[in-house]
């Protein structure tokens, strides 16, 4: 692993695949022009609309999303994470919410089907029933061992509330944790940053958290604040509330320093 710049992209996706992918390309271009070699797109980067539309349009969205990720990774010679897009299941009654990591040669490096689904009634009037349209993934996420960029662990959004998933990733050698999200505005204001800092601190890992922001459709609104956090829990970059990118350096010396000063992973008694 060597030092490099990573980018967490922040988008305001809508129910229009073409518009979203064009916007994503602009932000990838922005990140690369600033030197980013590892770029993460948020959950629902290619489509954020009604759950019923997501299911019916899933074959088209999935094909367009995967083609886009492979094309962008090759064109810009980067490692690129698509933080979550619908992929039809065998029955086609539901979809998987898939995060896909692509290398600079356009080849798939890792794929993760989101396990924890967001079924919540919030006081702001929004009700989320992700399980009505999404089938939970049954496999623990992978850690992709990149010699250049470090060991990269995958997760998606609501997973961040389940620390055992990240303990698994750190146990498998993760040094950088991806948490692409479409975190709600209501929960995000209180929980988003502190949860990400906790996952970074307890696993002594970098966290790259691409995010959705602003209003999308109907009452749906996302929190924003795509961030990159270091293994000590310090916020290195924050995209704020507007579409854009958060860019920061991923540094092996810093990772080694924190793990040497706080060797908590070596002190585990249970598990």
Catalytic residues: 43, 114, 157
Residue 254 CA to residue 13 CA, distance in Å, equals: 34
Taking Cα atoms as reference points, which of 110, 52, 121, 55 lies closest to residue 82? 110
Length reported for the chain: 271
Rounded to whole angstroms, how far apart are CA atoms 46 and 85? 7
Task: List the alpha helices (DSSP H) in the chain.
Answer: 17-33, 51-56, 58-76, 163-171, 185-203, 252-261
What is the rounded CA–CA span in Å between residue 244 and residue 253? 28
Q: Alpha carbon of 107 to those of 28, 111, 143, 207: distances in Å? A: 18, 11, 16, 23
For 198-235, b/e burial (b = at least 16 CB within 10 A) is: bbbbbbbbbbbbbbbbbebeeebbbbbbbbbbbbebeb
């Amino acid at each position: 692993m060597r030092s490099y710049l990573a980018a967490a992209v922040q988008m305001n996706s809508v129910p229009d695949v073409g518009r979203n992918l064009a916007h994503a390309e602009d932000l990838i271009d922005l990140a690369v022009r600033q030197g980013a070699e590892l770029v993460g797109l948020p959950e629902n980067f290619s489509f954020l609309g009604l759950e019923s539309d997501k299911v019916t349009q899933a074959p088209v969205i999935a094909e367009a999303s995967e083609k886009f990720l492979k094309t962008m990774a090759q064109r810009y010679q980067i490692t690129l994470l698509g933080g979550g897009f619908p992929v039809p299941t065998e029955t086609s009654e539901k979809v998987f919410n898939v995060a896909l990591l692509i290398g600079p040669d356009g080849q798939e490096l890792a794929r993760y089907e989101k396990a924890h689904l967001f079924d919540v009634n919030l006081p702001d009037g929004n009700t989320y029933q992700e399980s009505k349209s999404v089938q939970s993934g049954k496999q623990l996420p992978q850690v992709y061992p990149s010699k250049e960029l470090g060991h990269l662990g995958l997760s998606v959004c609501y997973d961040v509330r389940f620390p055992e998933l990240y303990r698994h990733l750190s146990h498998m050698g993760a040094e950088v944790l991806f948490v692409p999200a479409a975190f709600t505005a209501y929960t995000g204001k209180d929980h988003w940053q502190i949860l990400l800092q906790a996952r970074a601190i307890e696993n002594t890992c970098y966290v790259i958290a691409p995010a959705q922001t602003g209003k999308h459709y109907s009452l749906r609104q996302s929190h924003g604040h795509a961030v990159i956090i270091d293994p000590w829990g310090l916020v290195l970059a924050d995209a704020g509330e507007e579409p854009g990118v958060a860019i920061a350096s991923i540094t092996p010396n810093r990772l080694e320093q924190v793990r040497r000063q706080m060797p908590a992973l070596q002190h585990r008694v249970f598990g």
